[in-house]
């Protein structure tokens, strides 16, 4: 279950819209550094969507570079 208690009202509305989608494209994944809280929320979102819709993740960074940005 996706924990959304830390999100603001506008983010909650956007998240609900995303959760109802059949197809999601996340472009420029890890374009900038994110903190561990943001990384955890991103993982929760992708994990939640994984079995519910099609997801395309696009990044110019390798997974090793993702780790360096955390």
* Structural domain spans, the chain: 22-69
Which pLDDT value is given to residue 1? 45
Indicate the pTM of the whole model.
Answer: 0.67
CA–CA distance, 68 with 70 (Å, rounded to integer): 6
Tell which phi-psi region holds residue 30, choosing left (phi > 0), alpha (psi between -120 and 50) or beta. Answer: left
Sequential pLDDT tens for the chain (70 residues)? 455 566 678 878 888 888 889 999 989 877 777 788 888 888 888 899 988 999 998 888 887 877 777 6
């Amino acid at each position: 279950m996706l924990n959304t208690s830390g999100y603001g009202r506008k983010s909650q509305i956007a998240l609900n819209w995303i959760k109802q989608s059949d197809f999601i494209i996340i472009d420029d994944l890890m374009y900038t550094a994110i903190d561990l809280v943001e990384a955890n929320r991103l993982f929760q979102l992708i994990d939640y969507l994984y079995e519910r819709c099609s997801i395309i993740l696009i990044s110019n960074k390798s997974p090793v570079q993702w780790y360096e940005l955390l």
